[in-house]
């Protein structure tokens, strides 16, 4: 088996924790001796053990008294550089040094200031052979949310909407009218479990009265974010129920009432997208889905503050409606979701 094979296995393991480790990266670890996997693990939940100690523990669980001897002959594979600092858990580089791991193969270096080469340096100084940059692009894309937050000081921003076959986004009178089908809705709810937060504007909240939960897919609900400059959304709206925490960006007050957090901002008509993105960064929100309305999405597009767009296109056409946002980017994938087409765009700045 090649180094690439084992790093891909790290990614498979790490993906099991999507949505559960933010703002940490998703990391998997595989420990190999003579071409045989003797232990593996992944970072399962924020604040809990990282991938490396979970993998080492699995070696002891599987091999008992032979574990120490095996680890001294082993190659450890991780998709991201082992940490070198004390955080919520001890440094993973120190764990490998303690058990005298023979060799460590790494996908990406960690851009976080507390690591950023220090883990690799620690390992090398301890006499451990280190190889890095295996499947570098693939590993970086896999942890794109983490890299975006660390390097750009903002969350990874996903735009999501549905449009008709002839390019309409919503009804002119503002009344709710479904565009995409049930399977697309279920997929959208799966996405909500994978990201930290979901954002809408006041008009979408009032007209659609959405719940913004993941009720059609097992998993956590995202943090609900709504922009309501003058606090016009009725308290009977679904976003104020107890099913998830809601943050209301406004110009009136800062307050906390049960699970509803009001955050006051100044001059929301100027640079709103930039202000929201920076506020979310300060709140340790690593990724956000922006679901509308058209004006909110347009502001993020105009500011070029987006990374990925997920657009459902229905087979149905309307006589009239609000035109869909115009997006400049490159399409990476097309999928057929029942009767709807799903197109995935990436921003050119991330190409």
Whether the CB-CB separation of 252 and 121 falls below 8 Å is answered with no
- Residue 253 is predicted with a pLDDT of 97
Rounded to whole angstroms, the Cα distance separating 105 from 3 reads 7
pLDDT at residue 263 is higher than 90: yes
Which residues does 67 contact at the CB level (< 8 Å), separation at least 6?
Answer: 59, 60
Cis amide bond preceding 293, omega within 30: yes
Q: What is the average per-residue pLDDT within 250-263?
A: 97
Task: Quickly list DSSP for 297-349.
Answer: HHHHHHTT--SEEEEEE-S---SS-EEPPP--SEEEEEEEETTEEEEEEE-GG
Q: What sign results for the dihedral spanned by CA atoms 57, 116, 197, 252?
A: positive
User: What does the pLDDT average to over 266-277?
Assistant: 95
Count CB-CB contacts under 10 A for residue 226. Answer: 24
HSE (side-chain half, CA atoms, 13 Å) at 32: 20
pLDDT tens column, 46-55? 989 999 999 9
Q: Answer whether residue 199 shows pLDDT above 90.
A: yes
Q: Give the mean pLDDT of 253-270.
A: 96
Residue 88: pLDDT above 70? no
User: In terms of DSSP bridges, do strands 260-264 and 197-201 run parallel, antiparallel, or are they unpaired?
Assistant: unpaired
C-alpha span between 242 and 240 (Å, rounded): 7
- Enumerate the active-site residues: 52
In 3D space, the residue among 87, 160, 139 whose CA is nearest the CA of residue 324 turns out to be 160
Q: What is the per-residue pLDDT across 98-119, written as a single tens digit (0 to 9) for each? A: 999 999 999 998 887 667 778 8
What's the rounded mean pLDDT across residues 273-283?
A: 96
Lowest mean pLDDT among 97-101, 201-205, 292-296, 313-317: 292-296
Pseudo-torsion of CA 177, 183, 185, 188, nearest 10°? -150
CA separation for the pair 249, 272 (Å, rounded): 10
């Amino acid at each position: 088996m090649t180094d690439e094979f084992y790093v891909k296995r790290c990614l498979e393991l790490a993906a099991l924790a999507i949505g559960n480790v933010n703002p940490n990266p998703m990391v998997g670890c595989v420990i190999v001796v003579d071409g045989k996997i003797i232990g593996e693990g992944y970072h399962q939940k924020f604040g809990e053990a990282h991938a490396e100690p979970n993998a080492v523990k699995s070696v002891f669980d599987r091999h008992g008294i032979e574990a120490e001897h095996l680890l001294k002959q082993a190659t450890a594979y991780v998709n991201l550089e082992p940490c070198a600092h004390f955080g919520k858990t001890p440094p993973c580089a120190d764990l490998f040094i303690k058990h005298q791991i023979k060799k460590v193969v790494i996908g990406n270096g960690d851009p976080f200031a507390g690591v950023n080469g220090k883990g690799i340096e620690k390992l090398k100084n301890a006499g451990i052979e280190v190889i890095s940059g295996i499947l570098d692009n693939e590993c970086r894309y896999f942890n794109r949310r983490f890299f975006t937050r660390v390097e750009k000081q903002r969350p990874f921003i996903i735009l999501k909407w549905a449009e008709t076959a002839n390019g309409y986004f919503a009804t002119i009178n503002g009344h709710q009218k479904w565009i995409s089908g049930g399977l697309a809705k279920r997929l959208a709810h799966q996405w909500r479990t994978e990201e930290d937060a979901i954002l809408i504007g006041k008009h979408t909240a009032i007209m659609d009265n959405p719940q913004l939960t993941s009720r059609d897919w097992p998993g956590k609900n995202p943090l609900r974010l709504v922009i309501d400059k003058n606090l016009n959304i009725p308290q009977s709206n679904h976003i104020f129920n107890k099913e998830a925490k809601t943050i209301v960006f406004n110009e009136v007050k800062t307050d906390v009432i049960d699970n509803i957090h009001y955050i006051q901002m100044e001059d929301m008509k100027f640079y709103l997208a930039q202000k929201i993105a920076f506020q979310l960064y300060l709140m340790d929100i690593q990724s956000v889905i922006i679901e509308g309305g058209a004006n909110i999405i347009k502001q993020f597009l105009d500011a070029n503050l987006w990374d990925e767009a997920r657009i459902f296109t229905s087979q149905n056409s309307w006589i009239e409606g609000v035109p869909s946002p115009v997006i400049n980017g490159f399409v990476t994938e097309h999928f057929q979701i029942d009767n709807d087409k799903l197109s995935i765009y990436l921003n050119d700045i991330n190409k």
